[in-house]
Structure 1
Amino acid sequence: MSKVLYAAGTAEHIKNFHLPYIERLRKEGHEVVTMAKGDGVDIEVPFVKKMFSIKNLFLVLKVRKIMIREGFDTVILNTTLAAFIIRLALPRKKTTKVINFVHGYMFEPEPVGLKEKIFLFCEKLLSSKTDHIIVMNSDDYFIAKRYRLCLGEVRMTRGMGAKISDKPQILAESVFDLKQGIGKYVLCFVGELSELKNQKMLISAMPGIKAHIPNAVLWLVGDGKERRRLELYVRELNLSDSVLFMGKQNNPCDLIRACDIYLSASKKEGMPFNIIEALGCKKTVIASSVKGHKDIIEHGKSGFLFKKDNVGQLVDLIKLIYCGELTIDKGEAFSRYKDFSFDTVFDKTYNTVKELIEA
């Protein structure tokens, strides 16, 4: 069997999404070595989140030495940062097979702005070092094929598979008390506090929402570098009692279960686990009509979509749902969750990885 490098930007990413796949590969005889930033991996590499940081450029040399020393047969790449640095580190005449597991390209099919164009340029530059690509949504499949971002196959999957906890860690009484104490109509979003996740847009919608639903509150679950700016923005709008920063939660599904509507204003996604989990909790979901979301949400059936950054459209949807004029079939929502659940997708995704390793 082959020697496989399984790499990602952070150890947390590997822990959250890839351990069952790594365990299966090892069980079937492959030697799998993990690489990421953080504890719990075989090779720790201190990737810096800012992709073009000088520190990352120095890491290219370190990674190249590791690749030469270890002699991997196959490299499975996850996350934009790790995929960029590791492919850059590979020699031009490589013997290692490279599989890029794309969790969401950082650009649209028609790149908008300099930043997206740079990301596309980098993928084109490294396409000669990419043997195969695995994507998780139809837009990324189109991108990979259109721009010929690999030498071999582009495979479509439904991601790594989402799981929701069957055993809430917060007692139902505690959730009830929390909701009664801060407001009865709860809107919720789970994700890193970042420009990409676009929590600022959700905050900017709150004055319009509260004009129709005075007791509405927004729970922002997660943490990130944008937290301070978002907190200041909340104060500027005098919304401190209506927008609550819940921090990072070990089991965010507890809070999703407690909300009335689940929201996402993300600018782009790969395979948004938070949306899938909300569907699994049988919640009404309203999400921006962007790549990733569009593959999961069928407008009017499993949830609702609004045009990216259109605050008025989002407010109108929330108002209509609150008044009972718009509803979804909760069974349809849960059925959509099952389509993307771990139990449904694991074998297919694993077999895709295995076939490309052994091709």
Structure 2
Amino acid sequence: MNKRIRVLHVAEAAGGVERYLQTLFKYSDKKQVENILVCSQNYDYKKMKSLADRVIVLKMAHQIDPSADIKVEKTLRRIIKQLKPDIVYAHSSKAGALARIADLGLKNKVIYNPHGWAFNMQQSAKKKEMYKWVEKILAHFCDKIICISDAEKESALREKICKPEKLQVIYNGVDLEEIKNTIPKTRAELQIPEDAFVVGMVGRLSKQKAPDIFVKAAKLIKDKIPNAYFLMVGDGELRDQVEEMIHKFDLDSSFLITGWIDNPTAYMKVMNVGCLLSRWEGFGLVLPEYMACKVPIVATNVDAIPNIIEDGNNGLLVAKDNYEACALAVQRIYSDAYLKDKISNIGKNIVNEKYYIEKVNANTLAMYCSVCKE
């Protein structure tokens, strides 16, 4: 192409979406793509500014707020008209709605990545139905919908969100070079006993990630493995509730909650087992990160997770909300050195072959070029 493809990314949700964008921008071919980011106030502006060509911060509400949302849409439309991007790329449900409405009638191409369908979340049937209809209506106003897993595409086809040809799967990927070069936290600096068997969980302390199930499993694990220690990397709205449960189970001296941190893989490298006990999950970026760190995985058998984890091969799968099964799976890994090594080695091979960021960027660039030619 004679000129760079100008892509205006719109993102409201932080967390996993923010990490996705960081790695996408870091490995983007700057000779071919100009990345401009419009993000919410929850993003790390300085970090994003060092990776994107330009960053614009807009105050966005995570929940539906008609008056605030209309203001954001008007501002977004003004930005799109001013910058004239070739592509508007909207990330997650809220930004996906705002950007597609703001872009109505304009001549650029529009791509949408839900990063996990809102209608797959654990919520009332009425809300699920509402989200389905919103997605079906707004699907008419974009050129391509990117699914981050095969399960996401299957969900869209099952619910008839759009025509099959509008859907494209581009798996999430991780920065293997950065993970390799990340210096692990030491047990001494985290005040974890050197002989501890560390069971970890990386993720937001929210209903989706089921930190309550992790704590209930921890109680059972501690009864069977006296030197077990539990590491929760993250923060969230359920932190107070989680801390109350930890205290109730008399696990205070065997638990560390780090709060938000910039380098979760430095903490993963301390773990003997890594858990992802989500109640719903569009992909679960932490899974390939665990695999890259050679951390054996225990995860729930929901949504996209079984697309990534084959039970008994590169991890162990348990039923959603089943803390007893989780505890038993951790105990299996603890007592079976062969299983532990098998899971670790196969997981490392899979992530090296399938879930690396350079592959994500190559597929994304090809998709940009294809969309712009249409």
TM over 0.5: yes
Offset of residue 309 of structure 1 = 0.7
| Matched residue, 1:86 | 99
Q: TM-score, normalised on structure 1?
A: 0.87
Are 1:166 and 2:186 an aligned pair?
A: no
- Structure 2: runs of 5 or more not aligned: none
Among candidates 10, 18, 23, match of residue 17 of structure 1: 23
Aligned 1:106-125 pairs, distance under 5 A: 106-108=118-120, 113-125=125-137
Cα separation, 2, equivalents of 1:219 and 1:102 = 29
1:285-316 Cα offsets, whole Å, 9 max, x none, are: 00011122111111000011101111121122
Contact 1:129–1:150 at 8 Å: present in 2 too?
no
| Matched residue, 2:31 | 27
Matched letter for residue 6 of structure 1: H
Contact 2:198–2:272 at 8 Å: present in 1 too?
yes
1:100-142 Cα offsets, whole Å, 9 max, x none, are: 1232112339986333333222211211112211111112111
Are 1:153 and 2:156 an aligned pair?
A: no
Are 1:219 and 2:239 an aligned pair?
A: no
Decide whether aligned partners of structure 1 residues 36 and 316 sit closer, same or farther in structure 2, where only a CA change above 3 A counts. same
Decide whether aligned partners of structure 1 residues 288 and 355 sit closer, same or farther in structure 2, where only a CA change above 3 A counts. same
Are 1:190 and 2:205 an aligned pair?
A: no
| Matched residue, 1:5 | 8
Offset of residue 99 of structure 1 = 0.8
Which stretch of the first structure deviates more once superposed, 93-102 or 203-212?
93-102
Cα separation, 2, equivalents of 1:341 and 1:5 = 23
For the aligned residue pairs, the C-alpha RMSD in angstroms reads 2.8
Matched letter for residue 37 of structure 1: S
Secondary structure in 2 matching 1:189 = strand
Offset of residue 353 of structure 1 = 3.4
Secondary structure in 2 matching 1:196 = coil
Q: TM-score, normalised on structure 2?
A: 0.84
Offset of residue 79 of structure 1 = 1.9
Decide whether aligned partners of structure 1 residues 73 and 349 sit closer, same or farther in structure 2, where only a CA change above 3 A counts. closer
Secondary structure in 2 matching 1:269 = coil
Contact 1:201–1:265 at 8 Å: present in 2 too?
yes
Cα separation, 2, equivalents of 1:187 and 1:200 = 15
Matched letter for residue 208 of structure 2: L
1:67-125 Cα offsets, whole Å, 9 max, x none, are: 3444433211112221121112232x443321112321123399863333332222112
Cα separation, 1, equivalents of 2:113 and 2:275 = 27
- Structure 1: runs of 5 or more not aligned: none
Aligned 1:64-79 pairs, distance under 5 A: 64-79=77-92
Cα separation, 1, equivalents of 2:222 and 2:34 = 56
Which stretch of the first structure deviates more once superposed, 187-196 or 143-152?
143-152
Secondary structure in 2 matching 1:192 = coil
Decide whether aligned partners of structure 1 residues 195 and 17 sit closer, same or farther in structure 2, where only a CA change above 3 A counts. farther
Contact 1:161–1:346 at 8 Å: present in 2 too?
no
